[in-house]
């Protein structure tokens, strides 16, 4: 009854499509136009990828910090090696650049040698005053030497803040207004104002200026994503359509497939705009992904149409059979692929959830487009000529199919031994996989901004901000002698940690005040004693001696202290140890019964997000396996068949995971996607093979060996074709400058290749070895639906 229902359903679908060709084409056109109007809503992300749920404790703590002290990622830094500033004219140019940047409305504060404040005691000794270290333009190299001597030797307050202690790199700190940091205004300022200005000054004064800081890195990284979308689309289209033409040797068929997937890409952009999801490093992959997955649909449909034409030459009958006999098969395979992506919807990560929603919707859409557009276009064209059908007679992969059959027939034990050995080796590799929570690891290493990141990291010991907040639970508690000493002790621990940079807090200003009290002698750059504080107090009152950015390191009540340091780029394991040691020291210095403490910052949020995603990887992959297992159970009504079908699809995932361990590809947000995506796609081959296998069982009166070999010969060619398209299609991602995208493309390609071999060698071998347990009329019952019609793969 279900079989009859399915046949009637697809027969009705075929009649509906072919009798309403104009209406459907107009509908597709209108939907395409409608979705194209949503392109105006496309927005590229202006923030870092937040991998955690909004209500996750780490996110709540970070948001609490932002509410208290404002946006922390608003710092852009410019750097230059001291040896380049070898004349006073060049230092004047460097200072003029800082002054020019300060005039932009997007800039809140610029701290550089052009306006560096120096804290001094007034001539009458009654108060502290702020003077400019550089007063106007320099007029001689002697003034330049004097300035450098004073800065490097007499002003420890600015050590590793304005100049690096290890290699005398000078830097300028540009603080953007906090309300524009996560908006398009930041992008426009960096790309249209800041970069051209710096390039002009660098060229005029012959200076090599380095630029970094989270707002700058995020802007150029996002721009790189934008630039690569077009490259990905073109590469995916050229490679997949080129392979298509190689198989079919028909410009007409190739053009039809291109039109089909281009419509799918237009819909993908429209859906992103309609849902108002930002384009991130993940959602940017969806349009080329649609091309890669859409071309195999075109192969199945066009190949079947040409087979039918070759068989009887009746165009109407051929088009109807394309829909009725291939429609169900492609629906099942597209649904399993969509299911692999849809599992990301069940994670709590907004980034992955949006990717899963759009990808799964677009995969279903490309199936519908293919099913409607291809038969309708062919219905208006002349019947394919004889030369268009020549590829059906070619048996250039016959040797490959013969080899597979010989292996399954004569070397099953070798296949099992090889599988077990590969499994053991892979398990060893899995234990070598490392986890990466690095913010910059996936960034394009060939880009100048990445090289600048490493430059500043080498000079200043870190670029990723880590924030510490101490709640003294008392008004003006931060400035008490006891708490200042505790903060100083914490800073000493941070200085002793190689992975962290010199911290910045109110302690630095208090030390600087003591130095100023003693006439600027750097020997007195230290915390004042109680007696010294008593003498210094009258000078502090009403002196306005706050130095620029220091006002953001104590809240208005004086209760909360903020300590900022920067962390080097490192692996998650090391980052976790650094964090644990830091928290342990904080808890020792500031006991929980007297103080509340908080450790946060973008570096730690990203690292926690990576760990969160790894936990969700297990959940999403388990969901994919369960979902597809239920799918197989519904189709085949056999629990044993489910187990047999899962083995050749899980083994490639384990091989890929082991490979990651051996070649040093870490588990990170980008590579986490590999397993669910590859599993959802690779199971398509299993469905095709098992469906054809059951057909052969019925046709051959349950003669098992004949059925297995028949299914292998029939499905081997098609599985090879689609696997090659998918392999090279995903390989296009390796042209990306983003390390994560390269790894994703390479690993998915490798996994699909392993999956093809497993489905063509291991799966039929298992069916033959377990024939008495699984291959009988009682075990393999009538499928809930006829997945593949009898002659889907038949060729003459």
Q: Mind listing the pLDDT tens digit for each residue in 304-328?
A: 787 777 777 788 888 888 888 777 7
Yes or no: say if 153 and 522 are a contact pair by the CB < 8 Å rule: yes
Q: Is the pLDDT of residue 796 over 50?
A: no
Please report which confidence band the pLDDT of residue 792 belongs to, taking 50, 70 and 90 as the band edges. very low
What residues pair up with 435 in beta bridges, in sequence order? 667
505: which DSSP letter?
Answer: S
Q: Is the pLDDT of residue 432 over 80?
A: yes
383: which DSSP letter?
Answer: P
Distance CA(288)–CA(290), nearest Å, equals 5
First-last CA distance in the chain: 31
Yes or no: say if 730 and 745 are a contact pair by the CB < 8 Å rule: yes
Yes or no: say if 310 and 389 are a contact pair by the CB < 8 Å rule: yes
Q: Please state the φ and ψ torsions of residue 498, each to the nearest 5 degrees.
A: -60, -25
Does an H or E element contain 123, and which?
none
Q: Is the pLDDT of residue 35 over 70?
A: yes
**pLDDT value of position 46:** 61
**pLDDT value of position 5:** 43
Quote the tokens at residue 702.
């349950």
Quote the tokens at residue 118.
């120096």
**pLDDT value of position 547:** 55
Q: Is the pLDDT of residue 752 over 60?
A: yes
When mean pLDDT is compared over 40-54, 382-396, 544-558, the highest value belongs to 40-54
Give pLDDT tens digits for 536-571: 777 666 555 555 555 678 887 888 888 888 888 777
Does an H or E element contain 121, and which?
strand 117-121
Yes or no: say if 295 and 257 are a contact pair by the CB < 8 Å rule: yes
Quote the tokens at residue 224.
């790189």
**pLDDT value of position 421:** 92
Please report which confidence band the pLDDT of residue 366 belongs to, taking 50, 70 and 90 as the band edges. very high
Q: Is the pLDDT of residue 702 over 80?
A: no
Closest-CA residue to 178 (of 74, 315, 39): 74
Closest-CA residue to 770 (of 649, 684, 647): 647
Instruction: Work out the burial of residue 119: count CB atoms within 10 Å of its CB; fewer than 13 is exposed, 13-18 middle, 19 or more buried.
Output: buried
pTM above 0.85, yes or no: no
**pLDDT value of position 791:** 43
Beta strands in 133-188 (DSSP E): 169-176
Quote the tokens at residue 712.
């292998």
271: which DSSP letter?
Answer: H
Closest-CA residue to 688 (of 212, 131, 304, 116): 304
Give pLDDT tens digits for 317-365: 888 888 887 777 778 778 878 877 887 787 777 777 888 899 999 999 9
Please report which confidence band the pLDDT of residue 48 belongs to, taking 50, 70 and 90 as the band edges. low
Mean pLDDT of the chain: 80
Please report which confidence band the pLDDT of residue 700 belongs to, taking 50, 70 and 90 as the band edges. confident
Distance CA(572)–CA(667), nearest Å, equals 10
Yes or no: say if 128 and 539 are a contact pair by the CB < 8 Å rule: yes
Q: Which of 2-6, 15-19, 520-524, 586-590 has the lowest mean pLDDT?
A: 2-6
**pLDDT value of position 550:** 58
Closest-CA residue to 741 (of 191, 242, 39, 224): 224
**pLDDT value of position 397:** 64
Nearest-5° angle of CA 568, CA 570, CA 573? 130
Distance CA(305)–CA(378), nearest Å, equals 9
Quote the tokens at residue 278.
């930002």
Nearest-5° angle of CA 696, CA 697, CA 701? 115
Quote the tokens at residue 241.
């359509």
Residue bearing tokens 């998915």: 748
Please report which confidence band the pLDDT of residue 779 belongs to, taking 50, 70 and 90 as the band edges. very low
**pLDDT value of position 29:** 93
In this prediction, residues 55-79 reach a mean pLDDT of: 80
**pLDDT value of position 62:** 84
Comparing 777 with 667, the larger pLDDT belongs to 667
CA dist list (Å): 620 to 283, 441, 547, 608: 18, 24, 51, 18
Q: Which of 276-290, 523-537, 548-562, 572-586 has the lowest mean pLDDT?
A: 548-562
Give pLDDT tens digits for 469-485: 898 888 888 888 888 89
Give the largest Cα separation in the chain, rounded. 111
285: which DSSP letter?
Answer: G
Give pLDDT tens digits for 630-655: 776 776 666 777 777 788 888 888 88
User: String of b and e for 285-322 (b: at least 16 CB within 10 Å)?
Assistant: bbbbbbbbbbbbbbbbbbbbbbbbbbbeeebeebbbbb
- Residue 770 CB-half CA count within 13 A: 16
Distance CA(75)–CA(429), nearest Å, equals 41
Distance CA(644)–CA(765), nearest Å, equals 10
Distance CA(575)–CA(569), nearest Å, equals 9
User: What percent of the chain shows pLDDT beyond 90?
Assistant: 7
Distance CA(426)–CA(93), nearest Å, equals 58
User: DSSP 3-state assignment of 390?
Assistant: helix
Yes or no: say if 415 and 409 are a contact pair by the CB < 8 Å rule: no
User: What percent of the chain shows pLDDT beyond 70?
Assistant: 89
Comparing 497 with 124, the larger pLDDT belongs to 497
When mean pLDDT is compared over 79-88, 277-286, 727-736, the highest value belongs to 79-88
Q: Is the pLDDT of residue 195 over 60?
A: yes
Comparing 738 with 396, the larger pLDDT belongs to 738
Please report which confidence band the pLDDT of residue 26 belongs to, taking 50, 70 and 90 as the band edges. very high
Q: Which of 147-156, 397-406, 521-530 has the lowest mean pLDDT?
A: 397-406
Distance CA(683)–CA(123), nearest Å, equals 82
Q: Is the pLDDT of residue 99 over 50?
A: yes
**pLDDT value of position 4:** 42
Alpha helices in 322-447 (DSSP H): 327-342, 350-379, 398-410, 412-430
Give pLDDT tens digits for 611-629: 777 777 777 777 777 776 7
Distance CA(757)–CA(763), nearest Å, equals 9
Q: Which domains does the chain have, with CATH numbers?
A: 1-41+227-394 (1.20.1640.10), 395-431+637-796 (1.20.1640.10)
């Amino acid at each position: 009854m279900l079989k009859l229902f399915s046949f009637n359903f697809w027969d009705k679908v075929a009649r509906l499509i072919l009798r309403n060709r104009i209406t459907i084409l107009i509908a597709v056109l209108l939907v395409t136009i409608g979705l194209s109007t949503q392109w105006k809503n496309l927005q590229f992300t202006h923030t870092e990828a937040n991998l955690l749920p909004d209500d996750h404790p780490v996110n709540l703590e970070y948001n609490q910090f932002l509410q208290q002290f404002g946006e922390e990622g608003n710092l852009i830094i410019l750097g230059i090696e001291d040896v380049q500033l070898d004349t006073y004219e060049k230092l004047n140019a460097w200072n003029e650049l800082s002054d020019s940047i300060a005039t932009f409305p997007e800039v809140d504060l610029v701290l550089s040698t052009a306006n560096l404040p120096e804290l001094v005691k007034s001539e009458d000794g009654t108060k502290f005053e702020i003077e400019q270290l550089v007063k106007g333009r320099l007029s001689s190299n002697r003034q330049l030497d004097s300035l450098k001597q004073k800065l490097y030797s007499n002003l420890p307050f600015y050590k590793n803040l304005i100049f690096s202690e290890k290699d005398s790199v000078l830097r300028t700190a540009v603080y953007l207004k906090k309300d524009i940091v996560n908006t398009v205004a930041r992008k426009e300022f960096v790309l249209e104002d800041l970069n051209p200005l710096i390039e002009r000054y660098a060229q005029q004064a012959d200076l090599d200026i380095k630029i970094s800081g989270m707002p700058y890195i995020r802007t150029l990284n996002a721009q790189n994503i934008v630039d690569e979308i077009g490259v990905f689309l073109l590469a995916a289209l050229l490679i997949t359509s080129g392979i298509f033409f190689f198989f079919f040797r028909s410009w007409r068929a190739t053009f039809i497939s291109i039109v089909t997937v281009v419509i799918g890409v237009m819909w993908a952009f429209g859906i992103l705009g309609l849902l108002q999801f930002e384009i991130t490093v993940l959602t940017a992959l969806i349009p080329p992904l649609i091309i890669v997955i859409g071309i195999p649909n075109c192969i199945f449909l066009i190949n079947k149409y040409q087979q039918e034409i070759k068989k009887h030459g009746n165009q109407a009958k051929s088009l109807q059979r394309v829909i009725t006999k291939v429609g169900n098969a492609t629906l099942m395979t597209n649904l399993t692929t969509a299911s692999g992506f849809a599992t990301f919807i069940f994670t709590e990560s907004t980034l992955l959830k949006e990717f899963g929603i759009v990808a799964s919707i677009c995969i279903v859409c490309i199936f519908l487009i293919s099913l409607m557009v291809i038969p309708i276009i062919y219905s208006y064209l002349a019947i394919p000529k004889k030369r268009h059908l020549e590829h059906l007679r070619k048996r250039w992969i016959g040797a490959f199919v013969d080899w597979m059959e010989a292996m399954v027939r004569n070397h099953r034990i070798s296949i099992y031994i090889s599988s077990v050995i590969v499994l053991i080796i892979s398990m060893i590799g899995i234990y070598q996989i490392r986890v990466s929570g690095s913010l910059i690891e996936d960034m394009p290493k060939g880009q100048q901004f990445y090289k600048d990141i490493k430059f500043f990291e080498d000079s200043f010991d870190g670029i990723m901000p880590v924030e510490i907040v101490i709640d003294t639970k008392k008004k003006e508690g931060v400035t008490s002698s006891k708490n200042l000493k505790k903060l100083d002790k914490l800073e000493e621990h941070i200085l002793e940690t190689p992975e962290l940079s010199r911290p910045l807090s109110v302690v630095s200003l208090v030390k600087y005040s003591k130095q100023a009290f003693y006439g600027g002698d750097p020997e007195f750059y230290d915390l004042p004693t109680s007696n010294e504080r008593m003498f210094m107090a009258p000078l502090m009152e009403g002196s306005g001696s706050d130095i620029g950015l220091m006002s953001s390191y104590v809240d208005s009540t004086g209760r909360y202290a903020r300590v900022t340091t920067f962390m080097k780029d490192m692996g998650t394991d090391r980052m976790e140890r650094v964090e644990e040691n830091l928290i342990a020291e904080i808890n020792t210095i500031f006991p929980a019964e007297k103080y509340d403490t908080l450790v946060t910052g973008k570096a730690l949020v990203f690292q926690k997000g990576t760990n969160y995603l790894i936990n969700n990887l297990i959940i999403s992959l388990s969901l994919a396996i369960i979902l597809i297992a239920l799918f197989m159970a519904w189709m085949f009504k056999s629990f044993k068949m489910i187990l047999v079908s899962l083995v050749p699809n899980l083994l490639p995932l384990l091989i890929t995971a082991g490979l990651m361990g051996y070649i040093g590809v870490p588990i990170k947000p980008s590579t986490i996607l590999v397993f669910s995506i590859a599993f959802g796609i690779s199971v398509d081959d299993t469905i095709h093979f098992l469906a054809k296998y059951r057909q052969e069982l019925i046709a051959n009166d349950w003669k098992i060996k004949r059925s297995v070999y028949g299914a292998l010969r029939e499905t081997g060619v098609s599985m090879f074709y689609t696997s090659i398209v998918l392999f090279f299609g995903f390989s296009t991602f390796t042209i990306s400058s983003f390390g994560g995208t390269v790894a994703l493309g390479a690993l998915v390609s490798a996994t699909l290749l392993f999956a093809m071999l497993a489905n063509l060698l291991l799966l039929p071998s298992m069916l033959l070895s377990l024939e008495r347990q699984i291959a009988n009329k009682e075990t393999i019952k009538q499928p809930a639906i006829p997945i593949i019609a009898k002659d889907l793969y038949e060729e003459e």
